[in-house]
C-alpha cells in the first residue's frame, strides 16, 4: 500500500467516526430504513456509572481504609530493604476479600518508587501462585524477570559509558568543562564499574569492603555522591582500575577500605578530565568495560516455560538475582496453592538462598487465606517464612461501608445511589465473613441491574436482586465443576425433592443414585462413599444435611437442597453424561421398593 492510499483510508476513517458521533446526538442517521433502533433505547437511558472499572476486582485502589495498621507493619519490616538490609520474611493471612492482595501490592509499589527516588537497588516481584503453581514455573518466571531487569541495567550502563567515551573524545585540555562536571557527579556511580568486583554496585555503602558478604549491606550514612563514588572505586579489589585510584587516595577518608600498597604515581588526569572522577584509567578501559557488559548480556539465557531440569532453572535464577547488589522482595500470593500443588521445595530453596548469595539478598512475603498449608511445611521453612506474621481480620459492616463509600464516589454519577444502598451491600457482605470483594461485587451488580432496567437510581431492591444473582452464579459455578459422581448424588436429591419427598435420608439417596449409575454406565460407589459425597455437598453449601436422632433406632441424616432447584437441575442436565437420562420417574419409584 502506498503512502497515498494510507492517507486516504486514514482520513475516511476519521470522517466516518466524527460523522457517527455528531449524528447520534443531533439529527437522524439519514439511512433510516437500515436502522431498527436496537441501541437507541439503551443509549438514551441516563447511565448510572461514571467509572465502573473502579468496582472491578482488577482495580488496585490508592487508598485502603481500615488497613493502615497492616500496611504500616509491612512498611516497618520492609524499610530494611531501603537501608540495604535484608527484611524479615513475612506471612500474611486472613479470610478471602480482606484486602491482603490489595495492601501487599500497594506497599510494593511504594517500596519500588521509594527505592528509585533514593537510588537504592531494591526489586519487588509479585507472583500469583494460583496461576504459577509449580516450582519450575515460579523459578522460571523469576529467572526471566531478573534477566530482563539485568539487561535493562546493562543497557543503562552502556549508554552512560558511551556518553563518557563521547566526553573523552570531546575533551579539550585547555578549557574547563563545567557542564561535564555536573554530569559526572550524577552519573558517577554508573561509571564506578559496578560489576568488576563481582557485581557490587556500592551506591548504598560507605566503602566497606567486599568481605562482608555474609552480612547485610551497610547503609549510606553520609558523604557527597562524589565521595561515594570514590569509595565505590576503592571496592574494586580485583579491578586494575581500582589500584590506580586507590593509590591516588583521592578524597577517600583515611582508614576506610584496604591499605594502599600500590605506589603508582598520583594524578592520572587533569582535574577537568572526564575520566578523572571515574574508576577508569584509560579510554580503552571504558571500551573494555562496554565489551564485558555486552558479553554478560549475551550470556543470559532465558528459561523456557517447560523442559529444563529444575536445578538448571534454579541456577539461572540464582545467578540472575546475584548479578547485581540489591535486595529482592519476592511476593508469593496464594502461596497455599503452590504448597498444595507442589509441596514446599520452592519455599525451601528460596528461604535458604541468602546463605549462598554474594551480592544480593532475598526476602519472601507469603500471602494466604488458608493457614492449614503451614502444617505441610518443613519446620525450618515454616519458621523462616513466619518470621513476621500479619493478620488481616474480616471487615465489619461499618468498615465495609467506608470502603464502598470511597469507591462509589468515583464509580457512580452524582445522584445514582439512594441512601440505603451502601449500608445494605455492607450488611450482606459482613454476613459473608466481612468480604470486601463481595461488597464491591454487590454494588457493581446492583448498578448493572439498575442500568439494565433503565432506572435512574439504584435502590434497595436492586441490591437484593444482585445478592440473589451473585449467589446463583456461585452455585452454578460450583455445581458445574463438580465431579460426575457428586453430580449424580446431587441429582438423586433433586429427584427426590421434586417428587415431594421431605426429610430425605442417605439410604433413599443411595437407592436412586445406584439406578442413575446403572442407567449411564457409571461405577457405583459404596453407600459409605456416597455419605461422604453428601457431606462434601453440605460443606459447599449446596445441600443441608443434619444429623437427627431416631431414639433407639439410632441416628440418621436428614438431607435437603439449599439451592434453587430448577436452576441447579438445569446446570446438572447441561452435563452431557447426565443429559442422557431422560425419563427419571422410574428411579424415584425405586425409593419405595426398598
Ligand atoms: N481496605 C480496603 N479499601 C478499599 N478496597 C479494598 C479494601 N480491602 C479490600 N478491598 C478491595 O476488595 C477486593 C478484594 O481485596 P483483595 O483482593 O485484596 O482480597 P484478598 O484478601 O487478597 O482476598 P483473597 O484471599 O481471596 O485473595 C479488591 O477489589 C480490593 O481492592
Ligand atoms: Mg488475594
Which range has highest mean pLDDT (2-11, 102-111, 161-170)? 102-111
Contact partners, residue 70, CB within 8 Å, separation at least 6: 92, 99, 103, 390, 391, 392
Distance 407 CA to ligand 1 centre (A): 12
Q: Is 433 in the pocket of ligand 1 (CB under 6 A)?
A: no
The pLDDT > 90 percentage for the chain reads: 57
Partnered with residue 329 across adjacent β-strands are 124, 363
Contact partners, residue 336, CB within 8 Å, separation at least 6: 129, 368, 369, 370, 372, 373
What is the structure's pLDDT at 25? 43
Distance 64 CA to ligand 2 centre (A): 14
Q: Which of 162-171, 357-366, 386-395, 529-538 has the lowest mean pLDDT?
A: 162-171
Best residue among 437, 440, 441, 445 to mutate for probing ligand 1, ranked by most atoms within 8 Å of CB: 437
Nearest to 358 by CA among 140, 212, 144: 212
Q: What tens digit of pLDDT does each residue of 14-34 get?
A: 333 333 444 444 444 455 567
What does the alpha-carbon distance between residue 378 and residue 372 come to, in Å, rounded to a whole number? Answer: 13
DSSP string, 507-537: HHHHHHHHHHHHHHTPPPPPHHHHHHHHHHH
What is the structure's pLDDT at 231? 38
Q: Is 438 in the pocket of ligand 1 (CB under 6 A)?
A: no
Name which residue leads in pLDDT, 547 or 148.
148
**Would you list which residues are annotated within the binding site?**
98-102, 395, 407
Q: In what order do the strands lie in the sheet with 326-333?
A: 122-128, 326-333, 360-368, 90-94, 388-392
The residue-averaged pLDDT of 222-241 equals 38
Rounded (to 5) percent helix, strand, coil in the chain: 55, 10, 35
Name which residue leads in pLDDT, 586 or 542.
542
**Res. 521: pLDDT tops 50:** yes
CA distances (Å), origin 131, targets 126, 341, 366: 12, 11, 15
What does the alpha-carbon distance between residue 317 and residue 141 come to, in Å, rounded to a whole number? Answer: 9
SS (H, E, C) 330-350: EEEECHHHHHHHHCCHHHHHH
What is the structure's pLDDT at 583? 62
Closest ligand to 333 CA? 2
- Looking from the CA of residue 104, the nearest atom of ligand 1 is 18
Name which residue leads in pLDDT, 328 or 184.
328
- Local confidence band at 302 (pLDDT 50, 70, 90 cut-offs): very high
What is the structure's pLDDT at 187? 40
User: What is the chain's mean pLDDT, rounded?
Assistant: 80
The residue-averaged pLDDT of 506-528 equals 92
**Res. 267: pLDDT tops 80:** no
Distance 342 CA to ligand 1 centre (A): 26
- Local confidence band at 42 (pLDDT 50, 70, 90 cut-offs): low
DSSP string, 534-555: HHHHHHTTSEEEEEEE-GGG-E
**Res. 502: pLDDT tops 90:** no
Q: Is 98 in the pocket of ligand 1 (CB under 6 A)?
A: yes
The residue-averaged pLDDT of 502-526 equals 91
Nearest to 487 by CA among 543, 436, 413: 543
Contact partners, residue 110, CB within 8 Å, separation at least 6: 75
**Res. 179: pLDDT tops 50:** no
What does the alpha-carbon distance between residue 65 and residue 99 come to, in Å, rounded to a whole number? Answer: 10
**Res. 415: pLDDT tops 70:** yes
Cell of 514: 445406584
The residue-averaged pLDDT of 227-237 equals 38
Nearest CA residue ID for atom 3, ligand 1 = 64
Q: Is 194 in the pocket of ligand 1 (CB under 6 A)?
A: no
Q: What are phi and psi of 423, to 5 degrees?
A: -60, -35
Q: Residues in the chain, how many?
A: 594
The residue-averaged pLDDT of 477-483 equals 94
**Res. 528: pLDDT tops 50:** yes
DSSP string, 172-192: -TTS--HHHHHHHHHHHHHHS
The pLDDT > 70 percentage for the chain reads: 75
What is the structure's pLDDT at 181? 42
- Looking from the CA of residue 406, the nearest atom of ligand 1 is 4
Given a contact cutoff of 8 angstroms between Cβ atoms, the answer to whether 135 and 342 are in contact is yes
Q: What tens digit of pLDDT does each residue of 572-585 get?
A: 999 988 887 766 66
Q: What b/e sequence results for 301-338 when a residue is b if at least 16 CB atoms lie within 10 Å of its CB, and e otherwise?
A: eebeeeebeeeebbebbbbbbbbbbbbbbbbbbbbbbb
- Local confidence band at 45 (pLDDT 50, 70, 90 cut-offs): low
Nearest to 136 by CA among 295, 299, 317: 317
What is the structure's pLDDT at 360? 95
What is the structure's pLDDT at 588? 60
Given a contact cutoff of 8 angstroms between Cβ atoms, the answer to whether 134 and 155 are in contact is no
- Local confidence band at 194 (pLDDT 50, 70, 90 cut-offs): very low
Q: What b/e sequence results for 505-541 when a residue is b if at least 16 CB atoms lie within 10 Å of its CB, and e otherwise?
A: bbebbbbbbbbbbebeebebbeeeebbebbeebbebe
The residue-averaged pLDDT of 99-117 equals 94
- Local confidence band at 392 (pLDDT 50, 70, 90 cut-offs): very high
What is the structure's pLDDT at 587? 56
What is the structure's pLDDT at 494? 94
Given a contact cutoff of 8 angstroms between Cβ atoms, the answer to whether 324 and 196 are in contact is no
Distance 97 CA to ligand 1 centre (A): 5
DSSP string, 10-25: HHHHHHHHHHHHHHHH
Residue with cell string 523459578 = 139
What is the structure's pLDDT at 203? 38
Contact partners, residue 377, CB within 8 Å, separation at least 6: 339, 344, 347, 385
Q: What b/e sequence results for 339-348 when a residue is b if at least 16 CB atoms lie within 10 Å of its CB, and e otherwise?
A: beebebbbbb
What is the structure's pLDDT at 586? 56
Amino acid at each position: 500500500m502506498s503512502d497515498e492510499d494510507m492517507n486516504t483510508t486514514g482520513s475516511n476513517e476519521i470522517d466516518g467516526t466524527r460523522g457517527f458521533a455528531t449524528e447520534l446526538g443531533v439529527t437522524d442517521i439519514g439511512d433510516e430504513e437500515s436502522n431498527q433502533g436496537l441501541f437507541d433505547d439503551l443509549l438514551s437511558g441516563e447511565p448510572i456509572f461514571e467509572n465502573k472499572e473502579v468496582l472491578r476486582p482488577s482495580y488496585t485502589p490508592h487508598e485502603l481504609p481500615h488497613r493502615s495498621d497492616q500496611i504500616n507493619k509491612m512498611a516497618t519490616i520492609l524499610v530494611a530493604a531501603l537501608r540495604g538490609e535484608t527484611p524479615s520474611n513475612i506471612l500474611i493471612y486472613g479470610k478471602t476479600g480482606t484486602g491482603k492482595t490489595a495492601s501487599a501490592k500497594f506497599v510494593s509499589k511504594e517500596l519500588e518508587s521509594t527505592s528509585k527516588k533514593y537510588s537504592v537497588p531494591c526489586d519487588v516481584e509479585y507472583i500469583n501462585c494460583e496461576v504459577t503453581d509449580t516450582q519450575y514455573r515460579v523459578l522460571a518466571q523469576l529467572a526471566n524477570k531478573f534477566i530482563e531487569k539485568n539487561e535493562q541495567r546493562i543497557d543503562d550502563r552502556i549508554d552512560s559509558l558511551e556518553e563518557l567515551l563521547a566526553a573523552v573524545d570531546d575533551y579539550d585540555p585547555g578549557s574547563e568543562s563545567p557542564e561535564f562536571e555536573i554530569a559526572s557527579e550524577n552519573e558517577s556511580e554508573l561509571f564506578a564499574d559496578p560489576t568488576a568486583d563481582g557485581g557490587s554496585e556500592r551506591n548504598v555503602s560507605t566503602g566497606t569492603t567486599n568481605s562482608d558478604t555474609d552480612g547485610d549491606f551497610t547503609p549510606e550514612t553520609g558523604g557527597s555522591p562524589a565521595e561515594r563514588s570514590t569509595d565505590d572505586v576503592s571496592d574494586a579489589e580485583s579491578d586494575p582500575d581500582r589500584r590506580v585510584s586507590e593509590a591516588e587516595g583521592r578524597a577517600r577518608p583515611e582508614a576506610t577500605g584496604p591499605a594502599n600498597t600500590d605506589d603508582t604515581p598520583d594524578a592520572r588526569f587533569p582535574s577537568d578530565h572526564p575520566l578523572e572522577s571515574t574508576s577508569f584509567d584509560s579510554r580503552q578501559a571504558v571500551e573494555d568495560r562496554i565489551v564485558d557488559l555486552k558479553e554478560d548480556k549475551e550470556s543470559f539465557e532465558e528459561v523456557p516455560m517447560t523442559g529444563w531440569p529444575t536445578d538448571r532453572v534454579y541456577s539461572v535464577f540464582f545467578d540472575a538475582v546475584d548479578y547485581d547488589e540489591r535486595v529482592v522482595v519476592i511476593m508469593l500470593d496464594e502461596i497455599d496453592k503452590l504448597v498444595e500443588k507442589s509441596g514446599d521445595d520452592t519455599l525451601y530453596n528460596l528461604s535458604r538462598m541468602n546463605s549462598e548469595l554474594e551480592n544480593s539478598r532475598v526476602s519472601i512475603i507469603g500471602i494466604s487465606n488458608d493457614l492449614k498449608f503451614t502444617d505441610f511445611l518443613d519446620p525450618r521453612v515454616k519458621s523462616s517464612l513466619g518470621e513476621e506474621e500479619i493478620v488481616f481480620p474480616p471487615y465489619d459492616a461499618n468498615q465495609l461501608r467506608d470502603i464502598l463509600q470511597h469507591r462509589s464516589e468515583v464509580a457512580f454519577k452524582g445522584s445514582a445511589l439512594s441512601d440505603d444502598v451502601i449500608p445494605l451491600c455492607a450488611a450482606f457482605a459482613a454476613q459473608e465473613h466481612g468480604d470486601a470483594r463481595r461488597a464491591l461485587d454487590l454494588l457493581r451488580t446492583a448498578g448493572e441491574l439498575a442500568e439494565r432496567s433503565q432506572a435512574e437510581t439504584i435502590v434497595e431492591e436492586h441490591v437484593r436482586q444482585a445478592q440473589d444473582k451473585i449467589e446463583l452464579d456461585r452455585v452454578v459455578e460450583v455445581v458445574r465443576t463438580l465431579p460426575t459422581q457428586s453430580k449424580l448424588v446431587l441429582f438423586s436429591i433433586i429427584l427426590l425433592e421434586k417428587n415431594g419427598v421431605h426429610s430425605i435420608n442417605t439410604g433413599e439417596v443411595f437407592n436412586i443414585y445406584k439406578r442413575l449409575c446403572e442407567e449411564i454406565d457409571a461405577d457405583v460407589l459404596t453407600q459409605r462413599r456416597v455419605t461422604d459425597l453428601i457431606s462434601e455437598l453440605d460443606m459447599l453449601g449446596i445441600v443441608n444435611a443434619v444429623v437427627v436422632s431416631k431414639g433407639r433406632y439410632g441416628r440418621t441424616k436428614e438431607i435437603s437442597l439449599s439451592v434453587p432447584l430448577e436452576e441447579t437441575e438445569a446446570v446438572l442436565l447441561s452435563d452431557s453424561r447426565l443429559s442422557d437420562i431422560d425419563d427419571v420417574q422410574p428411579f424415584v419409584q425405586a425409593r419405595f421398593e426398598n
